[in-house]
Structure 1
């Protein structure tokens, strides 16, 4: 667990040496004796020691015979590396904020800034002591850590795993489901039963036995038979309001972009809205991993029995919860048989072998390992996935078995499943361990958004530069590895197939929380009556507090603070942190009911991530300009409309989110708004994300300086500087996401001079477009890489489809008030990769025709507020892969025709309708 600490310490020492800050101090203190003379040498020596330590840890295996002594030594390395990072960061702060301009350093600091002199003198002394400690650690290793620790040379887990990149270790895949067929038939029959009464079904058993796997499989197969469906995880720290909000949110997802804003709803409002949503629907709801029957009883009156054959499925580890269902509708899952266990394990461990056969030389140890898993599918899949990376050598597999047995026999505080799953953690590459543990700092029912999780990892210093790849690109590779190793599960992918959101299995999350405490990595505070924070805590995540925080809380080593409890006493907590946690790197206050940010925030010289998303904050203090190390500033959906001019001093800023959602239904032109930024923002050359900027002529002219931008959204674009905007955008060669909004729906977007970079994948244009633009080389040649295209208020008179059909890689096409004509014709062989099609708010559209062979893999079509369209698209039966048809605010006669889609597709296509009178 020392890797992240060493990487962070190496980063700060490297920055010092590269900037020669130490040399500056030494050169101005030569007349004060030896106090500072050896400062640069000390930092250099420390940096060399850290590099060698890192190399040793990279090569070292975790399953050596003397793991206790080695673990103790690594823990001491971690503590010292943390201390080095703090001390050197303090030095950089002091030197960087005090100019050395040739005036006698001694006189100036002693007379004008004596505290600076004293602090630097203390740092020089501590660095000298750190050198001694490093030497002592080396001696300890030689003296106590077993010398014959076997080091696997040239081991590169990443390269090994690349051979099986296409094989996911996610155990709910069809190929990895073993031994559930009988239970699947039972559960399926209960769900699709003909009785119209609401039926409550429970699936229960011990953790890791496959409850979620079974229910997921049946849920995916049978949800098409219901008008709406929702899957909601119930955390141990649930609230009734959150459960209801999550159900409403899940239901609204299937109605696509017509969310019900539940943010400020009270309990009564939430219940009324959910009841209205369900009263005419045949619904399927899964309440996953419920711990307390009260969680269901509190919402039972909202889940109405409308006699349409609705079903509720509850999964739990508790028999008491399972008893919510009638005895005839309770399904208890048992561990797999020996035969089933062996079959499942071999599918994971020997997935590259013919018929998943185990080599004879490994069978003895493979069967011993399978027996230790005791029939638990999660353990079999997880451990099998890890072993698939090992050489097929008997001695290697014996060593794994020996280590597994030691854990089971000696760590009685862990349940059998944790003992098995901990091996999955042990065999993670060292660079993934901190990333995995960090996921355990989020609440139990959290869905981890790929992009946001990556930004946290980067801010924490977990990610190491690799070649020309950005840190974010390297981190995405780490995320994929964790998914492939079953340490994270994919919940949602975007239309391009990239992971959008993932989650941590409950049992793995418990393992992560346990290891966070054990390794002093971090603390997850939840539902505790007392708040006893260890002063050595490096990361603190508050999920729920039931008592007030002690005013004497002192967390001097805290590097990360996140709060997920909106009721937490925010002002007091923030004041305590800002006053006593000087080294903070991540401060995420998303969703808290705070209205102001104290000016003291500027004293957090080490801050790299500041999250104020969804807060009530209206203004940022001027001191924000002092946060020289800030990488991510997230102000999205806060109440901030303008930032201080000092933001232009944040030279390391990589991601700036400042977009505000004005219209949650996205039916108006100005559904989104950006933020006003000072002119100097264009000199923040490390910016990769800027969403969203309210444009003006001065800023547009200089935007071309932001050559590192990957994601850019600009609002309020006027005709008179469209040409300047094109010139600036054409210099952004790294753009993959571009969104341009005109000042109003009648303004013309004159983008003829724009050149799309080859990496551009997502494009949004809101505003009038010239007819010839879609026929220009900009779309015909330069836009080949575009996968997602949204055109809004384009007001085109000619059918845009012939021009857009040249975009062969489109997976998502959204036309909102884009076409004023009467007919759209999708011809054969057009849009071969399109999965999602949305036709919205085109008042003159009378007919949509689809020829056989068009959009051959389309999965979803959305028809929204097409006032003149009174018949279903002609030829829609040719869309053989269509799964969803969403009709919103369509003419009254259209609804009856759409209802027949069920039969047309033999019930493979799910139809959702929202009536016009519910606008």
Structure 2
């Protein structure tokens, strides 16, 4: 856990040398370079110490623990020195008392060397790292890199609970019947070719158990001529693996091993394996594979013959994907146990020797809470159930265990194996991902985090490293994808195109992360039980009232502050931070009950992330212009309307998110409000997201300024006028990276003039147009990347369907209150081949809707209404074979009667739809909504009275 801290500080030292070369003397720069080099060499020792600590757990040598802690504290000290130095540079750079920046730098460099003692601090840093390195040599720590022992010969000194998965009795296995049947069919069926079956899932999910039960089945044994089961784990030698495979193949056929196999090199082993398997049907299981390129190391030893099968169990999706380069691959994502099977397994373990395996009624509620915590993870259910089988069967005793589960996971011998299994994935991560995973410990339990927000926070913390040709946001998205593919992070919500929208971690892994966060000083969660924290703690997550936390927040080293579930907020609380959190980089006050931001916020010169989302703050102080390191300013759902002119000084700003949506209003043009911005916004040339800005305040001058923002990925403009059209079109054409565009006219009757765009940005994926369009702009039909199109209040004279139906990536199409004069919409054959969602809202004149066969073959959701003239059931709806969700809103009673399951002539058309909802109004201010499954016996309809 300490390696990533040292790596982070090394990166900061490099950045210090690059960005402050003019401020540091040659001697000081030389010393800083020496510190960086020494830390780099210490890192290899530290990596080995981290491995030892992970492997040995509580038995780790005290000297190793002490040394790791000292390295961590030294890294924190160096980070503090660097940040304090940068703080003073930034502060004096903004001091208007100096006429020329050059004179300020010269003055500051002299002052820093004398008054602030930068030379002395650098000398102190140098001596500190020297002592640490000497101490590691005295302790005789060895380095994996220096000794070259990363060759698979290292064995874990603790009992590996994964071994037990190989010997689970049939009666103890629960909930794998379907998966076992599927995998068995994949092994013994299919084409006569080599195929790979990958079983992917997080640690403890039962991959090894499932694979072993399939492998041991008589069906599999009878089908293949030879077979092998090979545990792989995190480190291995290819020669040893191949040797084991060959020996097991020979052994399964009851043949003698070939002579000299123990001395063969890799090439000879591959030849021997291919020779032996040439005319044989074989199956081999590689259990617990971690290295992505594993398949590349062994594929040539397993020939593509008359039906070879290779099964791989792994926590890492990329391991499975790598095999696709040369083999047909089936990927089976193992799912958690269902609640029913989880309950069955828990009772089987907790009451295995008493009560005939049944849970007593008084323990049922508590037992289900414990099972809920396990989230269907079989290993967790078995371990915790086994522990509870040793306890008194009383509610108080079980409640105590539930309340102390976090500490029990670290110390109770029944549970430490579970903790280690869950931790293995973390310890296998590269250093740059470890901090990203620890970040989940900041948020409350069961918290589903918006992925975009999470990536912005990673960037603000400095965790994301720039790659050539990619933005930081794109690199951060790669980091998150890798964590998801490693089965460490779970996707809890997705966008329409399948991309992750929200994510979380498993509840028990969250408990493990909390311990890691506290031990490494990464973060401390302030609660009533844990208000005190280590002096070097870097981040605070406040889960208690600010008044209770006030005495704790007096540390200048804190870098990030988060608040959650706050019910009250003393006005003096934020003011009390002045001077105590001067090195703050992240201030996330989302959902906090505050109504103003103190003026001193402008003194937080190093702040990179500020969120006032969903607060009652109305005004931003002018001092916000001092935050020249600010990258994200999140004002969503706050009451801020006027953006100070000084925000134009924030040249590093990447995301300005500001709008207020009134959820108490019906959908209309004024439901959302943007913000008012001053001219000069064009100097914010790093901006990637800007929405929503009200264009009527700055008019054409403001729009022309926006044309300078060439890095924009998302732009939202409100209150546009017809006369803005040409300037707006010229502005949009310059935004080559634009992916999302949201444009709203100043009123429902105002024209959106977008006709003069000739070369729209080619990467637009989402387009929202709200205002009158006399005709659909022709350029829209050229947006090959367009995924979502939303058009409201358009007033189109002609049907837009022909112009849109061949867009290759369209997944979502919404038309609302169009004022469309035509009475018919015809979805013609062959169109909208990828469309998943179709919404037709407020089509007042529509009386005919035709859907040809072969159109919208993948449509899953269809919403329509109110359409008072549409009295006939949509012609061709029976062609939509993938339709699963159907919503009718405010349809006439003649339409509803045709769908009545009792005597409606068209009820059979939608009998395959999973969920249908009918919403019918009963007059002004009165309505009733009913939601039914078509399989409900009491299915009923409501229509306009």
Tell me the TM-score normalised to structure 1 length: 0.69
C-alpha contact 1:792 1:816 (8 A) present in aligned 2 = yes
Q: Distance in 1 between matches of 2:803 and 2:215?
A: 51
| Rounded Cα–Cα distance in structure 2 between residues aligned with 1:688 and 1:822 | 41
Describe how 1:339-358 pairs up with structure 2 within 5 A. 340=210, 342-343=212-213
State the Cα deviation string for residues 762-814 of structure 1 (Å, max 9, x = none): 1111111132x44x2x1233x11101111111110211111111312100101
Q: Give the conservation status (yes or no) of the 8 Å contact 1:345–1:384.
A: no
Cα contact 1:701–1:728 (8 A) shared by 2: yes
SS where residue 571 of structure 2 aligns? helix
Contact 2:610 2:632 in 1 (8 A): yes
Q: Select 2:769's aligned residue among 761, 765, 768.
A: 765
Higher relative contact order (CA 8 A, sep 6+): 1
1:33 equivalent in structure 2: none
The answer as to whether partners of 2:658 and 2:674 remain within 8 angstroms in 1 is yes
For 1:98, what is the secondary structure of its paired residue?
helix
Alpha-carbon distance, 1:731 to partner: 1.0
Between 492-501 and 338-347, report the one with greater CA deviation: 338-347
Give the Cα–Cα distance (whole angstroms) in 2 for the partners of residues 686 and 154 of structure 1: 46
Which of 77, 92, 96 is matched with 2:90 structurally?
96
Q: Which residue of 2 aligns with 1:832?
A: 833
The equivalent of 1:648 in structure 2 is 648
Pairs within 5 Å for 1:345-424 = 359-362=228-231, 384=288, 386=290, 412=413, 415-424=416-425
Q: Answer yes or no: is the 8 Å Cα contact 1:780–1:807 preserved in 2.
A: yes
Report the equivalent of 2:129. 134
Cα deviation code 1:531-582 (max 9, x no counterpart): 2233322111123449733446422211111111222435344233343111
Kindly provide the CA deviation profile for residues 615-654 of structure 1, in whole angstroms up to 9, marking residues without a partner as x. Answer: 0000011111111111110000100001211111111111
Give distance in 2, aligned partners of 1:365 and 1:345. Answer: 22
Change in CA separation of 1:876 and 1:522 when aligned onto 2, cut-off 3 Å? same
Aligned equivalent of 1:704: 707
Q: Structure 1 pair 435/664, CA: closer, same or farther in 2 (3 Å)?
A: farther
Cα distance in 1 for residues equivalent to 2:856 and 2:119: 68
What SS class does the counterpart of residue 362 from structure 1 fall into?
strand
Q: 1:886 to 1:145 in 2, by over 3 A?
A: farther
Q: Go from structure 1 to structure 2 and tell me whether the alpha carbon gap of 1:105 and 1:870 turns closer, same or farther (over 3 Å shift).
A: closer
Question: 3-state SS of the aligned residue for 1:97?
Answer: helix
Task: Compute the displacement of 1:450 (Å).
Answer: 1.1
Q: How does 1:71-220 map to 2 (within 5 A)?
A: 73-98=67-92, 101=100, 120-144=115-139, 146-147=141-142, 149=144, 179-180=174-175
Residue 535 of structure 1: aligned partner? 535
Quote the Cα distance in structure 1 between the aligned partners of 2:148 and 2:684: 42
Shift of 1:58: 8.1
Aligned to 1:468: 469
Shift of 1:124: 2.8
**Contiguous gaps of at least 5 residues in structure 2:** 151-172, 180-200, 218-222, 236-284, 299-311, 316-382, 384-407, 928-945
Match of 1:904 in 2: 909
Alpha-carbon distance, 1:18 to partner: 3.0
Query: Aligned residue for 1:683?
Result: 683
Q: Does 1:445 align with 2:446?
A: yes
The alpha-carbon deviation at position 885 of structure 1 amounts to 0.6
Contact 2:90 2:605 (8 Å CA) reproduced:
no
Shift of the 682–131 alpha-carbon distance from structure 1 to 2, 3 Å rule, reads same
Asked if residue 519 in structure 1 is aligned to residue 389 in structure 2, the reply is: no
How far is the alpha carbon of 1:737 from its aligned partner?
A: 0.8
1:559-617 C-alpha deviation (Å, 9 max, x unpaired) = 11111122243534423334311111111111111001111111111111111000000
Aligned-partner Cα distance in 1 for 2:839–2:290: 42
Offset at 1:436?
1.0
- Once the two structures are TM-superposed, the CA of residue 384 in structure 1 deviates from its matched residue by 4.1
On the 8 A contact 1:23/1:40 being kept in 2, the answer is: no
Structure 2 equivalent of residue 237 of structure 1: none
Distance 2:640 2:774 in 1: 35
Instruction: Tell me the distance in 2 between the aligned counterparts of 1:768 and 1:873.
Output: 27
Give the alignment of 1:56-71 within 5 angstroms.
62=51
Q: Distance in 2 between matches of 1:94 and 1:132?
A: 24
Taking the aligned partners of 2:678 and 2:711, their CA distance within structure 1 comes to 19
**C-alpha distance after superposition, 1:58-103 (max 9, x if no partner):** 8998369787566654443333233222222221222233367599
Residue among 13, 28, 43 paired with 2:32: 43
Q: Is the Cα–Cα contact under 8 Å of residues 73 and 536 in structure 2 kept in the other structure?
A: no
**Counterpart-to-counterpart distance in 2, 1:502 and 1:346:** 36
Asked if the contact 1:529–1:546 (Cα under 8 Å) also holds between the matched residues in 2, the reply is no
Matched ranges for 1:363-762 at <5 A: 384=288, 386=290, 412=413, 415-526=416-527, 528-529=528-529, 531-545=531-545, 548-551=548-551, 553-663=553-663, 667-695=667-695, 696-754=699-757, 755-762=759-766
Equivalent-residue separation in structure 1 for 2:36 and 2:42 (angstroms):
10
**Measured at CA, do residues 109 and 389 of structure 1 come closer, stay the same or move farther in structure 2, by a change above 3 Å?**
closer
SS of the equivalent of 1:915 reads strand
Distance in 1 (CA, whole Å) between partners of 2:680 and 2:114 is 34
Distance 1:720 1:337 in 2: 63
- Distance change in 2, residues 1:848/1:908 (3 Å): same
CA distance in 2, matches of 1:102, 1:387: 52
Determine the C-alpha separation between the residues in 2 that align with 1:152 and 1:683. Answer: 53
1:721–1:59 Cα change, 3 Å: farther
- Answer yes or no: is the 8 Å Cα contact 1:60–1:150 preserved in 2: no
* 1:44 shift after superposition: 3.5
| Match of residue 269 from structure 1 | none
- Structure 1 residue 678 displacement after superposition: 1.9
Per the alignment, do residues 732 and 616 of structure 1 end up closer, same or farther by CA in structure 2, a change over 3 Å counting? same
Q: How far did 1:697 drift?
A: 1.7
Distance 1:523 1:797 in 2: 60
8 Å CA contact 1:735–1:759 kept in 2: the answer is yes
Contact 2:861 2:884 in 1 (8 A): yes
Structure 2 vs 1, CA of residues 769 and 689 (structure 1 numbering), >3 Å: closer, same or farther?
Answer: same
Q: Indicate if the aligned counterparts of 1:741 and 1:765 stay in contact, CA closer than 8 A.
A: yes
Distance 1:701 1:617 in 2: 30
Displacement of 1:665? 5.8
Distance of aligned partners of 1:102 and 1:815 in 2 relative to their CA distance in 1, 3 Å threshold? closer
Between Structure 1 and Structure 2, whose CA radius of gyration is higher? 2
Classify the secondary structure of the residue corresponding to 1:577: coil
Gapped runs of 5+ residues in structure 1?
27-36, 156-177, 185-211, 214-333, 348-353, 367-380
Distance 2:462 2:213 in 1: 41
Q: Is the 8 A contact 2:810 2:832 kept in 1?
A: yes
Answer with 703-712 or 416-425: which moved more. Answer: 416-425
1:877 maps to which residue? Answer: 878
Alignment length (residue pairs): 699
